[in-house]
């Protein structure tokens, strides 16, 4: 089968122990797939650099790449297998477009990967590979990268872009706070233009989207959405619209 592509907002690491509507939405979505993927590819902003790299570990583990959270968070694990074979396939696929990819045999799964995966495949029995987010690419570049990864969908691979539809940590509010005024309009702008397929407008998000600089003082958490959009294409199906801590829009989308 051709797998759809998922964009998920992973929000705070507390999502791992505070599922809210997001955890339920992810668990429900995976039940709609007629098959289990043979492997999973995740792109997360918490592995980001000037170029592309791919994890080649044979055995993954959860990296608790955060501080100042409750002790229970640091006991959680996600020991999925890795897949050096999928990593090699990704490297070959991108080499066809002259894109070099470095191997990283040591890096574990960051929380942008393992936290949502605990709701999607809690048994941690499907091989997982991470691809680093290339910080040099804008929305158009990330979309183009996603298109290069699209053939993996026909090879039993579930592609996941993990980020956050809004991400301004300076604006984070206490739990249960109402969404800040710019969050809803930003969510609605993406929902409308994704539904209408307005790709050119979406590529110019920094100028066109309301409250863009408030929603994303830095673009790293939004760029995985464009990788997912490129890999999956339209139509887009909105799966979740929760807002956590007043400032973190937890929208999830299926592409393709």
Q: Residue 134 sits in a domain of what CATH number?
A: 3.40.830.10
DSSP 114-162: HHHHHHH-TT--S-EEEEEEETT--HHHHHHHHHHHGGGGGGTEEEEEE
Alpha-carbon Rg for the chain in angstroms? 17
Mean pLDDT to the nearest integer, 24-53: 97
pLDDT at 173: 97
In whole angstroms, what is the distance from residue 152 CA to residue 47 CA? 21
Tens-digit pLDDT profile for residues 144-154: 999 999 999 99
Number of domains in the chain: 1
pLDDT at 176: 93
Whether 113 and 45 have beta carbons less than 8 Å apart is answered as no
State the pTM of this model: 0.97
pLDDT at 171: 97
Domain that holds residue 137: 5-255
pLDDT at 219: 97
- Output the CA torsion sign for 110, 83, 123, 79: negative
Beta partners for residue 41, in sequence order: 129, 159
Tens-digit pLDDT profile for residues 26-40: 999 999 999 999 999
pLDDT at 64: 97
pLDDT at 205: 98
Tens-digit pLDDT profile for residues 195-235: 999 999 999 999 999 999 999 999 999 999 999 999 999 99
Q: Predicted confidence band at 133 (pLDDT cuts at 50, 70, 90)?
A: very high
Q: Predicted confidence band at 123 (pLDDT cuts at 50, 70, 90)?
A: very high
């Amino acid at each position: 089968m051709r797998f759809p592509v998922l964009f998920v907002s992973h929000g705070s690491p507390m999502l791992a122990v505070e599922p809210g509507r997001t955890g339920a939405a992810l668990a429900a979505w995976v039940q709609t797939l007629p098959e289990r993927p043979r492997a999973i590819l995740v792109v997360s902003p918490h592995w980001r650099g000037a170029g592309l790299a791919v994890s080649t570990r044979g055995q993954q583990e959860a990296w608790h790449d955060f501080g100042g959270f409750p002790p229970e968070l640091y006991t959680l694990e996600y020991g999925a297998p890795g897949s050096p074979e999928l990593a090699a396939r990704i490297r070959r696929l991108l080499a066809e477009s002259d894109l070099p990819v470095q191997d990283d045999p040591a890096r574990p799964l960051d929380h942008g990967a393992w936290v949502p995966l605990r709701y999607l495949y809690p048994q941690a029995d499907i091989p997982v590979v991470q691809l680093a987010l290339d910080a040099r690419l804008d929305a158009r570049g990330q979309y183009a990268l996603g298109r290069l990864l699209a053939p993996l969908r026909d090879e039993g691979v579930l592609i996941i872009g993990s980020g956050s539809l809004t991400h301004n940590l300076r604006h984070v509010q206490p739990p249960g706070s109402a969404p800040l005024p710019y969050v809803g309009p930003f969510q609605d702008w993406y929902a409308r233009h994704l539904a209408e397929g307005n790709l050119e407008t979406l590529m110019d998000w920094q100028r066109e989207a309301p409250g863009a600089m408030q929603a994303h003082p830095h673009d790293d958490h939004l760029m995985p959405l464009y990788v997912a959009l490129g890999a999956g294409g339209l139509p887009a199906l909105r799966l979740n619209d929760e807002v956590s801590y007043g400032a973190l829009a937890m929208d999830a989308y299926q592409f393709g």
